């Protein structure tokens, strides 16, 4: 039987895994989700901080690395919600090394994990949910050209996946896209919003069935992002109809 994640206390008793678990936003999300009664698993590349304890510390840790996502399959089998929040911001650097690293971390590893998680939902007949932090950089400047390009890539891939699921009327795999404005973190020390505030808003909005979870002081994002998603969905539908004739 597929597990129902849509009840009022939807996070209570849920097993939630989050990547980038040592980051500012992830720590705030961990605290908020644990407060809601979830069992949180932290996925991290960094082993050094895993011995700490507290409200912002996951109940369990898993060490992983980009490019080896398949090794996580067994660990993700019993996970209900996967939050993809790892990232790399090369800022002004536009060399080949930075570009390759950003594509791998911000785009390809996210996509592989989405595909693996979807396959697990299908093969185990157990509904799963994934949240992907694409940020406002998906469609506007972030003063980091490579970061913007890689966020745009994963953002459009997620939109394509969402369109496919809607066309197939699939209910076993739920996608939520996090469109976040600038919050203070190691990636963005100049961020305007506090990560604690952003995390609370994300969890509040995620209680609903909405696909887009937008948290930003920029009102234009609330207007433009749904329009962009609608155009992407219509484009996918149009292409499908053209090639099905």
Catalytic residues, by residue number, are: 147
Alpha-carbon span 96 to 106, nearest angstrom: 15
Q: For residue 177, what are its two tokens?
A: 């896209």
What the block records as the tokens of 19 is 């990547």
- 8 phi and psi angles, rounded to 5 deg: -60, -50
CA distances in angstroms from 59 to 26, 31, 52, 197, 204, listed in the order given:
13, 11, 11, 22, 21
Whether 185 and 25 have beta carbons less than 8 Å apart is answered as yes
Residue pointed to by tokens 């840790």: 61
Encoding tokens for residue 95? 């060399």
Q: Which residues contact 86 (CB under 8 A, 6 or more apart)?
A: 19, 20, 23, 43, 45, 66, 105, 109, 110
Is 194:185 a contact under the CB 8 Å cutoff? no
């Amino acid at each position: 039987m597929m597990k129902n994640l849509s009840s009022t206390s939807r996070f209570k008793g849920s097993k939630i895994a989050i990547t980038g678990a040592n980051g500012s936003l992830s720590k705030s999300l961990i605290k908020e989700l644990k407060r809601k009664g979830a069992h949180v698993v932290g996925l991290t590349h960094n082993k050094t901080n895993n011995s700490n304890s507290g409200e912002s510390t996951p109940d369990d840790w898993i060490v992983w690395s980009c490019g080896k996502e398949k090794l996580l399959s067994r660990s993700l089998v019993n996970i209900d919600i996967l939050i993809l929040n790892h990232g790399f911001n090369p800022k002004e650097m536009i060399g080949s090394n930075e570009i390759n690293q950003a594509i791998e971390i911000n785009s390809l590893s996210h996509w592989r994990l989405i595909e693996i998680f979807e396959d697990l939902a299908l093969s185990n007949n157990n509904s799963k949910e994934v949240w992907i932090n694409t940020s406002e950089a998906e469609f506007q400047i972030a003063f980091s050209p490579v970061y913007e390009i890689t966020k745009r890539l994963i953002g459009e891939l997620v939109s394509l996946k969402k369109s496919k699921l809607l066309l197939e009327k699939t209910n076993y795999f739920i996608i939520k896209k996090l469109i976040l404005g600038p919050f203070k973190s190691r990636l963005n020390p100049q961020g305007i919003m506090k990560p604690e505030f952003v995390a609370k808003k994300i969890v509040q909005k995620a209680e609903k069935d909405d696909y887009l979870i937008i948290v930003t002081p920029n009102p234009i994002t609330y207007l433009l992002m749904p329009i962009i998603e609608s155009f992407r969905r219509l484009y996918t539908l149009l292409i499908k109809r053209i090639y099905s004739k």
